[in-house]
């Protein structure tokens, strides 16, 4: 089912993000002016609108703070694991046979 994913079309402002996924690294934009990370990538900081953007590698792990329940399929092949606040998650990298890599988060400690 993963081959049914929408193929991403990288833009100039988010190319480092996609290049990072291909090498199994989670790179996010970082604002030097207000010390904020953000996702999805954008050419300016959404917090202070600065264009002082650099790319930093993130650990790829975290804690679930919230989620949205989708009542219609968002994308083919994407399931939703049982969720709870405080759930530890980790990034998993999925290679699509069409030549791109995406990331998904799964509960920490689960086999991919």
30, 20 Cβ separation under 8 angstroms = no
Those residues with Cβ within 8 angstroms of residue 36's Cβ, 6 or more apart along the chain or in another chain? 30, 45, 46, 47, 48
Closest CA to 77 of 102, 60, 100, 99: 102
Put simply, whether the predicted model's pTM sits higher than 0.85 gets the answer: no
Residue 3 pLDDT level (bands cut at 50, 70, 90): low
Instruction: Quick: pLDDT tens for 16-44.
Output: 999 999 999 999 999 999 999 999 999 99
Question: Which residues lie across from 96 on neighbouring strands?
Answer: 100
CA distance 37 to 60: 13
Average pLDDT over residues 84-110: 92
């Amino acid at each position: 089912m993963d081959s049914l994913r929408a193929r991403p079309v990288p833009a100039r402002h988010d190319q480092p993000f996609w290049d990072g996924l291909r090498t199994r690294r989670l790179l996010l934009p970082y604002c030097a002016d207000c010390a904020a990370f953000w996702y999805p990538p954008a050419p300016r900081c959404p917090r202070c609108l600065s264009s002082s953007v650099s790319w930093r590698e993130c650990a790829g792990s975290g804690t679930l703070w919230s989620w949205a329940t989708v009542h219609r399929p968002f994308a083919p092949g994407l399931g939703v694991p049982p969720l709870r606040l405080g759930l530890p998650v980790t990034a998993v990298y999925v290679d699509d046979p069409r030549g791109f890599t995406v990331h998904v988060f799964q509960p920490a400690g689960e086999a991919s």
